Amino acid sequence: MAGIGYAAAEPAVTGAPETAPAARPSRAGRRRSGVYYLMVAPALLLSGLVVVIPGVLTAVAAFTDWDGLGLRPNWIGWTNFRDIFTDPVFLQALKNNFIWMALFLTVPVAIGLVTALLLLKRGRSRTVYQVVFLIPYVLAPITNAILWLNIIYNPISGLVGYLRGHGWQVSAPLADVHTAIYAVAGVDVWHFWGFLTVVYLAALRQTPVDQVEAALVEGANGWQLFRYVYLPSIRSTLRLMSVMIVIFSFLAFDYVYLLTQGGPAHATEMLSTYAYTAAFSAFQFGKAAAVGLVMSGFGLLSSFVFVWLSRKES
């Protein structure tokens, strides 16, 4: 009887067990979160004022005939985009941007990677080399442009003039429609490869030493050491810098404008110089905004590819 009475006293268990109510955030936690939001607010405000708002206004202006002065531009839809994609100068600029991108994805990357591998075996002098290689990168573009215009490309007093004076049939690189874009790209490559060297060297130095030593013990040669040890270690850095190069290639402006202004005969015309001319020479700000959206589209596309590759690898 006692056992029966004890069993009757126990409550019946039906359904899922009751869960404890979720703990509410404490007052101190809410105050800490508020402090975090307050600290982030200036950066968000600055990004909104400098990036978001101008970006939205540029996107809206691309569908208008705004001349940069009027307060009430007319909405013209896709007319600006139809005009630029039927303009042979725009198509030439787009082609030049792809040539520029191909050059910068190969030449400075190869030079920077080979130089970084050579510096990897250096001792204390490695820092000195890095400082020297970074000098062109930290100099102002106008300084680099003047140096190359007067010391290298000048047909009278520069290297080109010296070669001409000694019987070499050398044309002025910036004045030839077939070589102008490569001459301008050469200046930018000279300015950029030192930066890539420093970045790649920092990535190479993060390779685990035990993997390198194990490969050497197994008898790996230099190519095998790079292919199977160093390259997998720096693959993420190579991918990131490739995306940045693609984005910068469609934003190239400074050296093109300083050296040729897009000439001769639009041989070095870029999307950036094309947009600059449309905005500040022809006062077609709506057309320039449309070109800016095209440039941004290529940058966004490369960013999406980078994110997709990163997720696929992870």
Model pLDDT for residues 132-159, shown as the tens digit of each residue: 999 999 999 999 999 999 999 998 888 9
- Entry pTM: 0.84
When pLDDT is cut at 50, 70 and 90, the band that residue 261 belongs to is very high
| Interval 48-98: pLDDT, tens | 888 888 889 899 999 999 988 877 889 999 999 999 999 999 999 999 999
**Mean pLDDT, residues 19-27 taken together:** 57
pLDDT at 184 (0 to 100): 96
How many helices (H) and strands (E) would you count in the chain?
16, 0
pLDDT at 28 (0 to 100): 65
CA pair distance 314, 251, nearest whole angstrom = 30
DSSP 227: I
Q: For Cα atoms 176, 187, 166, give the angle at the middle one, nearest 5 degrees.
A: 55
Supply 230's token pair: 């160093």
**SS3 of residue 146 by DSSP:** helix
pLDDT at 7 (0 to 100): 43
CB 144 within 8 A of CB 191: yes
Supply 88's token pair: 């042979």
Distance of CA 186 to the CA centre of its chain: 18
User: Among 49-63, 107-121, 250-264, 267-281, which is the least confidently predicted range?
Assistant: 49-63
pLDDT at 19 (0 to 100): 54
| % of the chain residues with pLDDT over 70 | 90
Report the amino acid identity of residue 299.
G
When pLDDT is cut at 50, 70 and 90, the band that residue 47 belongs to is confident
The contacts of residue 90 (CB under 8 Å, 6+ apart) are 84, 271, 274, 291
CA pair distance 169, 27, nearest whole angstrom = 81
Q: Give whole-number Cα distances, 300 to 93, 100, 243, 276, 293, in Å.
A: 19, 18, 10, 21, 10
